[in-house]
């Protein structure tokens, strides 16, 4: 493994004021998003939508350090025949790839899942590297409910994440390690804190046993936040405080950086929380974003599949990217949202 190259790429992903565009929605997920805006989920429509984002020059050059792609997207060409990967690289951003194969029910653990995709991963990583990817992503899903997560689900998913990360580094690809504690339930913020702490401590233990070089990886965690169905949801200051506290307790300073997932937060909510966390510095690592929906919801709605809406949708994307770029430096202000 080329340690220097892995460290260089990992640091570039979390460069100051920049973060990741997660454009790796599975076929099912993007169909649901397109259904919501009345657009048929065809290969060409998916290509046109993502090309629109990748051609938003100001965002791609100034705020987007890397783009996580889906298997279909990394192989696609833009309308003019240029590979989409090339569009990303020419903007100064780094192409990445989602390599997990989604979740399946975990045997003997009702309501819990395991992420699959380790079989043949080394060969797929070599292929993706030839297609232009320099980093990869694998998502483990941990749900909170009565009696779950179980020790079994947590350990199985942590082990798979660590195995994936080691394979990535062996094949000179930077791993984005994503253990997501879902915010779907009715749990309070303290339950989320306790489970997130358990998850992170287990994941970093497994990363150690799999000999993963922490300087050559990026962590993509959830924020510590109340469940969507909680009777009383914690405010932004408490979210930022408890998120930073759990990260300082669990994440070694050697890690190149932290890029949060948005996990169902609204666009502005994800920006507010990121901004507050960065205002609590100095921090042991760069802290930025790896947002999918929180970067794309507004431009997707504005675009609505119509060519005449492309410029307006690109302005919406550029605005959200800029807001999150400022939040990654603790410089976001609510007035900037109003002005836009």
Active site residues: 178, 220
Residue appearing with tokens 């653990």:
109
Measured from the Cβ of residue 146, the count of other Cβ atoms closer than 10 Å reads: 7
Please, what's the b/e burial string for 76-115 (b: 16 or more CB within 10 A of its CB; e: otherwise)?
Answer: bebeeeebbbebbeebebbbbbbbbbebeebeebeebbbb
**Alpha-carbon distances of 187 from 9, 141, 245, rounded to whole Å:** 37, 16, 19
Please, what's the b/e burial string for 283-316 (b: 16 or more CB within 10 A of its CB; e: otherwise)?
Answer: bebbbbbbbbbbbbbbbbebbeeeeebbeebbbb
Which two structure tokens, joined as six digits, stand for 326?
């400022």
Whole-angstrom distance, CA of residue 200 vs CA of residue 149: 13
Whole-angstrom distance, CA of residue 213 vs CA of residue 271: 30
């Amino acid at each position: 493994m080329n340690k220097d190259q892995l460290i260089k790429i990992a640091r570039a992903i979390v460069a100051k004021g920049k973060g990741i565009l997660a454009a790796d929605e599975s076929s099912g997920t993007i169909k649901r998003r397109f259904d919501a805006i009345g657009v048929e989920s065809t290969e060409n429509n998916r290509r046109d939508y993502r090309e629109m984002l990748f051609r938003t020059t100001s965002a791609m050059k100034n705020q987007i350090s890397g783009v996580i792609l889906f298997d279909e997207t990394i192989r696609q060409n833009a309308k003019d025949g240029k590979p989409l990967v090339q569009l990303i690289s020419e903007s100064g951003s780094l192409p990445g790839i989602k390599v997990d194969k989604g979740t399946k029910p975990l045997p003997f653990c009702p309501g819990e899942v395991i992420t699959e995709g380790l079989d043949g991963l080394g060969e797929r990583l070599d292929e993706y590297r030839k297609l232009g990817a320099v980093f990869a992503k694998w998502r483990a899903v941990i749900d909170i409910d009565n009696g779950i997560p179980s020790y079994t689900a947590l350990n199985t998913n942590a082990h798979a994440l660590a195995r994936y990360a080691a394979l990535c580094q062996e094949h000179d690809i930077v791993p984005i390690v994503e253990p997501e504690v879902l915010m779907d339930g009715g749990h309070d913020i303290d339950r989320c804190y306790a489970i997130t702490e358990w998850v992170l401590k287990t994941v970093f233990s497994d990363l150690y046993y799999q000999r993963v070089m922490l300087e050559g990886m990026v962590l993509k965690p959830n924020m510590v936040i109340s469940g969507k169905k909680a009777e009383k949801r914690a405010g932004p200051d408490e979210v930022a405080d408890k998120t930073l506290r759990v990260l300082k307790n669990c994440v070694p300073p050697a890690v190149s950086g932290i890029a949060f997932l948005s996990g169902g937060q609204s666009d502005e909510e994800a920006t507010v929380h990121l901004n507050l966390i960065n205002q609590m510095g100095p921090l042991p690592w760069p802290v930025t974003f790896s947002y999918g929906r929180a970067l794309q919801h507004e431009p997707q709605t504005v675009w609505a599949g119509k060519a005449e809406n492309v410029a307006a949708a690109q302005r919406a994307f550029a605005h959200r990217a800029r807001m999150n770029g400022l939040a990654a430096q603790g410089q976001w202000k609510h007035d900037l949202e109003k002005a836009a």
